[in-house]
Amino acid sequence: MNPALPRDLSCPRIATRKNGDLALSRIVAGMWRMADWDMTVEQRIAFIEQCIALGVTSFDHADIYGNYGVEGLFGEALRAQPSLRDRMQLISKCGIKLLSNKRPQHTIQHYDTSAAHIVASAEESLRQLHTDRLDLLLIHRPDPLMDFDEIAGAFSRLKQDGKVLHFGVSNFSRHQFEALNRRIELSTNQVEFSPLHVAPMFDETFDGLQDKGVAPMIWSPLAGGRLFTSNDANAENLRLVIKEIADRLHQPFASVVFAWIMQLPSRPIPLTGSGRIEAISVAVAGTTFQLSRADWFTILRAARGHEVA
């Protein structure tokens, strides 16, 4: 089990493995919406440098993001400023085939976790990102046709070739994670989690990862903005509860949410989704304090709409 780390930006070990550990920054910058940020190459470089200055050194991608365009945008920044690459960790995902004008051969949106697709997708990500290796490659979604042995074989080939250093999954159940992990060591399971989506706390996802000493990555920690905007009565009450705690602690609202997530013993690693460095800073602020147990459970009670017992 990983020892407890101080609440700072030091890179936590996602998994303790005898073949070497993967370290990601405590907050990961999600690049899903980069195509919408309308940044020049120079602005992308500046944004990346500002993230790194905050201690956010890990950048999360997927082949499909931005209609297969985000990795290329990020890669343009790395091509223009090559020294950035050795100061960061690059994460990507594969396994979804979108209907897209950039992929005219796709006739239906579907999953593909065949060895051929995994390897081809990883190699294309390397080209788009203008790098010789990915630090972490994830299977994006569970595929009803996935063959665990075939996936493990593809991962092993990519590792042997030095193209991918570590592997993981995204949106997998505990059983799916453990089935693949028995065949090849996995470093994380990236799942949706927020005060408006607490299922992984109660469906064994987090329990199973904690048992393996593996830290989950968290997508949509602010529920895609619904924590700020939803008119649902439960969400409105939850928002008031978090705001009261934030005001009392003199912390930003979102910082309290990030702190609440990171307090779980599985040591979740949240992703941001913003191109505003101010939003990244607020997430980082969540690494600097802990909630009291009473405040933590007050948020959980509001999230679930009932007492724990």
Higher pLDDT, 11 or 75: 75
List pLDDT tens digits, range 88-124.
Answer: 999 999 999 999 999 999 999 999 999 999 999 999 9
Q: Is residue 253 part of a domain?
A: yes
State how beta strands 89-94 and 58-60 pair: parallel
Shared domain for 169 and 299, answered yes or no, is no
Confidence class for position 21, pLDDT limits 50, 70, 90: confident
- Residues known to be catalytic: 65
Q: Is residue 194 part of a domain?
A: no
Shared domain for 153 and 28, answered yes or no, is yes
Shared domain for 34 and 181, answered yes or no, is yes
Quote the pLDDT of residue 309: 80
Look up the domain containing 270 and give its range. 221-304
The rounded percent of the chain whose pLDDT value lies above 70 is 94
Shared domain for 88 and 233, answered yes or no, is no
Confidence class for position 5, pLDDT limits 50, 70, 90: very low
**178-199 in b/e burial notation, b at 16+ Cβ within 10 A?**
bebbeebbbbbbbbbbbbbbee
Confidence class for position 279, pLDDT limits 50, 70, 90: very high
- How many domains are there within the chain? 2
Shared domain for 270 and 156, answered yes or no, is no
State how beta strands 189-192 and 28-30 pair: unpaired
Shared domain for 41 and 142, answered yes or no, is yes
Confidence class for position 268, pLDDT limits 50, 70, 90: very high
| Cα–Cα separations (whole angstroms), residue 185 to 11, 76, 136, 302 | 20, 32, 12, 37
Report the length, in residues, of the chain.
309
The residue out of 139, 164, 187 marking a domain boundary is 187
Mean pLDDT of 132-154: 98
Q: Which helix (H) or strand (E) holds 302?
A: helix 293-304
Predicted confidence (pLDDT) at residue 300 exceeds the cutoff of 80: yes
Predicted confidence (pLDDT) at residue 8 exceeds the cutoff of 60: no
Shared domain for 72 and 177, answered yes or no, is yes
Residue 27's contacts (CB-CB under 8 Å, 6 or more residues apart) are 9, 55, 56, 258, 269, 270, 271, 272, 280, 283, 284, 286, 287
Quote the pLDDT of residue 133: 98
Shared domain for 136 and 267, answered yes or no, is no
Average pLDDT, the chain: 94
Shared domain for 155 and 276, answered yes or no, is no
Give residue 209's Cα distance to chain centre.
Answer: 15
Shared domain for 232 and 152, answered yes or no, is no
The residue out of 187, 212, 244 marking a domain boundary is 187
The residue out of 171, 187, 203 marking a domain boundary is 187
For residues 8 and 284, give the distance between their C-alpha atoms in angstroms, rounded to a whole number: 9
Quote the pLDDT of residue 188: 98
Q: Is residue 251 part of a domain?
A: yes
Confidence class for position 164, pLDDT limits 50, 70, 90: very high
Predicted confidence (pLDDT) at residue 3 exceeds the cutoff of 80: no
- CATH code, 128: 3.20.20.100
Predicted confidence (pLDDT) at residue 11 exceeds the cutoff of 60: no
Predicted confidence (pLDDT) at residue 43 exceeds the cutoff of 50: yes
Shared domain for 85 and 181, answered yes or no, is yes
Which tokens belong to 277?
């460095």
Shared domain for 182 and 45, answered yes or no, is yes
Predicted confidence (pLDDT) at residue 52 exceeds the cutoff of 80: yes
Q: Is residue 175 part of a domain?
A: yes
